[in-house]
A and B are shown apart, each in its own frame.
Chain A
Amino acid sequence: MWNEYRKMAFTSIRGAKFRSALTMFGIIIGVSSVVTIVSLGEGVKQQVTTQAGEISDSLVVIRPGKEQEASAFSLDVLRTYVDNNTGSLSEKDWQDTLEVDNVSSSVPVGIVSGIATFEDAEYNGNIIASTARLPRLLNQNIEFGEYFTDSGSTKKKVAVIGRDVAEQLFGENVPIGKSLQIRGEKFIVQGVFEQQDSGTFAAININNSIMIPYESAKDIGGNIQLLQIYVEAEDATQVDAVSDDVRETLIKNHAGQEDFTILEREEALEATNAVFYQLTVFTAGVAFISFIVGGIGIMNIMFATVSERTREIGIRKAIGATNSQILGQFVMESALLSILGGFFGVLLAFVANAIIRVTTDLQPVTTWQVVAIAAGLSVVTGIVSGILPAAKAAAKDPIASLRTDA
């Protein structure tokens, strides 16, 4: 029967296109403004999160020195490090974090002092000592060749380099198989990273970095300053416990001092979340009001429709429609108006987002969740605001209805 109601509803909506459009207007405006605001918020949030260094849910980041505030947004991690160059993290700290319960991996990021050379050319970039897991942790893909593995190759003299290193030091895109020199030792290039667009890896620009295995870096002597240690919990729910245990272990190592900083994603995003909580409350308010207004608009028109179509209702009843069937027909009509309004509202929001994208720096992101919520609210609004008018229609006396001129 609902299929029948749908057809009837479409017939009468099509029969009064202009009025139907006016009826939907409230819902269209409501849905489109809510979807646009949420998309803008989501876009800003994603940008901030990207800048926060792509810390995954299950990751704890340890940095040397005590930072006053957890500033994961800061793109100046390297400078922070250089400024209060305490060198407070040691290889022992890294090894010990591996022993902490529920830790699945721990990855050091060390800066190796030295300059890379190739033939006569010099390159003054970052030489970074780390382990096999780093690229995956950072979602950094290899464009050519491959990254080094932990087994077998840990002491090999191999390097994976950024795009700028390849171009500026070797003067070609894929210098795989060629070797560069660090502290007099030859390192064979076995991979090139994909171009990195923004400062994901904390502040380190992958494009001008040379990655070598940690063990090989130790072999060539010189100083390895641990810039940070990524400790990965087995899953996101254990991240707090892991963070506490790591802190305890490190304080013990550091003779009771907490001269390091532990960041969790949660903390890092707390400030962001506070902002977005306010935005969400505001949006919910806008949504609530616009759906109420839209719903009242629909209810108003539905009441008018029911009065105008009194005779139609009388006829339908006279030829066998039950009260419930009349009710169903009008509720369906109201719901359909609202759903169509929601649909056009989402379309309008997409148009608005496209315009925003072209005319401003903002990158609105429309998630399917917000579209689903808007659609759901439209349905609910349509049904709720249709019930009273539909009940009025269903309760009409068939004879009196047939006698009216409408």
Chain B
Amino acid sequence: MAEQRPIISIEDVSKVYGFGDATTVALDEVSLDINKGEFIAVMGPSGSGKTTLMNIIGMLDRPSHGIYKLNGRDVSRQKRNKQAKTRRDNIGYIFQSFNLLPRLTALENVALPLAYKRVPQTRRLKAAARALDQVGLSDKEYNLPTQLSGGQLQRVAIARALVNGPSIIIADEPTGNLDSTSARVVMELLSEIHKLGNTVLMVTHNPSLTRYADRILYMLDGSIVYDEASAVGEMPTRVQRAVQALRTSDDDEKLASVSAMMETMPEPKSSDDEDKGKKKKRRKSARKKRGKKAKK
């Protein structure tokens, strides 16, 4: 692993929003190397900067400070049009809310990234059909997004992310809007993509989904506070305990004390309390989030 050049390498990347008193540090000097073929699950409470990190790695956003090297090349200062092309050729994006274009059929949606690459129409549609077949939706080619279920929509979105043959797939809470059965199908697809040698980055709030990953990042307040390798198919012990803790305990702890604990966390093999606290915090904010959504 050490001699291999990382596919993604970020050094001291910060992202700051706002000015003066209203400044939010969404990412605080984060450094991270990701090797080709890793499946990384990113966890952490709401507002900890997971999406921000994904957006920067996915080149939808630029870091305020720091360097982002993709395949060894510094891409953080590329011109916007050039960045768009780099993104198009290297990165496939999967969103929590699918983000398909409502007026296009499934097939057209999947083919769209190729249109921006100037692939001729017939080849484009053929490639899109193949990608849809890969996600098991070859019978839904001509359905509009409104004629598909949530799980099917996410599979179309995965096909779209794959159609360009990108080496990196970024999925920000891909199962966040799905029931457990659909979520399972989506996760199996991501797992297959991973097995084909692609690098997958996935943000999730569901600890049990980390068993598909071979590396787990925990974020808190804009920093990566924990970075652990794990065998695929297994949940790391910390996560298992956290899941158990979530099942058993329901205390509300103050967020501040949790973060304080996280920050002073000495070693990965630290106490369970800190772990529990973190998970509780996550769940709490997740609850808050759900509340927000319900209001909309």
Name A's B-contacting residues (CB within 8 A): 1, 4, 11-12, 15, 311-312, 314-325, 398-399, 402, 405
Contact across chains for B101 and A312 when beta carbons are under 8 A apart = yes
Q: Tell which of B89, B99, B296 touches A318, judged by Cβ atoms closer than 8 Å.
A: B99
Assuming the A-B contacts A15-B103, A324-B81, are A399 and B160 also in contact, with contact meaning beta carbons closer than 8 angstroms in the complex? no
For the complex, give the distance between the alpha carbons of A217 and B100 in Å: 91
Q: How far is the CA of A405 from the CA of B295 in the complex (A)?
A: 14
Within 8 A of A (CB), among B72-120: 80-81, 84-85, 87-89, 93, 95, 99-101, 103-104, 112-113, 115-118
- Chain A residues, Cβ within 8 Å of B296: 405
B191 within 8 A of A: no
Q: Is the CB of B55 within 8 A of A399?
A: yes
**Best-buried of A317, A318, A322, A402 by chain B (most CB within 10 Å):** A318
* Cα–Cα, bound, A325→B61 (Å): 18
B231 at the A/B interface (Cβ < 8 Å)? no
> Can you pick out 12 interface pairs between chain A and chain B where the beta carbons lie within 8 Å of each other?
A1-B118, A11-B104, A312-B101, A316-B112, A318-B60, A318-B95, A319-B116, A320-B117, A323-B84, A398-B61, A399-B55, A399-B60
Check A320–B116 contact: CB distance below 8 A.
yes
- Given A11-B104, A399-B60, A320 contacting B113 (CB threshold 8 A): yes
**Do B93 and A322 touch (CB < 8 A)?**
no
Interfacial residues of chain B within 184-220, with CB under 8 A of chain A in the complex: none
Is A319's CB under 8 angstroms from B103's CB? no
**Known contacts A318-B95, A320-B164, A399-B55; 16 further A-B pairs (Cβ under 8 A):** A11-B104, A12-B103, A15-B103, A312-B101, A316-B101, A319-B93, A319-B112, A319-B113, A319-B116, A319-B160, A320-B88, A320-B113, A321-B84, A321-B88, A398-B60, A402-B60
A residues less than 8 Å from B89 (CB atoms):
320
In the complex, chain B residues whose CB is within 8 Å of the CB of A317: 60, 84
How far is B118's CA from A322's CA once the two chains are assembled, in angstroms?
12
Q: Which of A12, A15, A315 contacts B99 (CB 8 A)?
A: A315
> Distance (Å) between the CB of A231 and the closest chain B CB?
65
Using a CB-CB cutoff of 8 Å, which residues 115-150 of chain B contact chain A?
115-118
Task: Given A399-B55, A399-B60, A399-B61, answer yes or no on A322-B84 (Cβ-Cβ < 8 Å).
Answer: yes
Give A311 to B113 CA distance when docked, in angstroms. 16
- Which residues in window 132-184 of B have CB below 8 A to A? 160, 164
